[in-house]
Amino acid sequence: MKRFFPEDNMPQSISNMSNMMKVSDIPQENNITISKVRKNSEGDITDVMLSNGEAYPIEKAVEMTKEGLINGVNVSKAKNGREYLKSNPNGTEEDNLSNKPTF
């Protein structure tokens, strides 16, 4: 008895979709980084300015980082489930987001 696999009846282009890369898997050729931050009265980062001069709310910057559009940071998750940006570890605190110039 032949076992049935749904992939057997799918067009080749659809059955190979599981092998497709996500946008975040594609190396980005840009060098866009976070150059400045805006903080609220509690010291939380609310907005970021990128090296290309564009500014975004932190939530949008998180999504852009997930898509591989912003370099030098990664997305972490707080205990309360909120996602935030964190500088990639490199042994120095000088370039941590909290130490960036404000705008």
State the DSSP H helix or E strand holding residue 35, giving kind and residue range, or none if neither.
Answer: strand 34-39
Tens-place pLDDT, residues 32-83: 999 999 999 999 999 999 999 999 999 999 999 999 999 999 999 999 999 9
The residue-averaged pLDDT of 90-102 equals 91
pTM greater than the 0.85 cutoff: no
Chain-centroid distance of CA 94 in Å reads: 21
- DSSP label at residue 21: P
What local confidence, expressed as pLDDT, does residue 6 receive?
A: 54
Q: Which residue has the higher pLDDT, 50 or 19?
A: 50
Statement: residue 15 has pLDDT above 90: no
User: Which of 4-8, 44-48, 88-92 is least confident?
Assistant: 4-8
pLDDT of residue 3: 56
CA dist 58 and 84 (Å) reads 8
Is pLDDT above 70 for 4? no
pLDDT at 96 over 50: yes
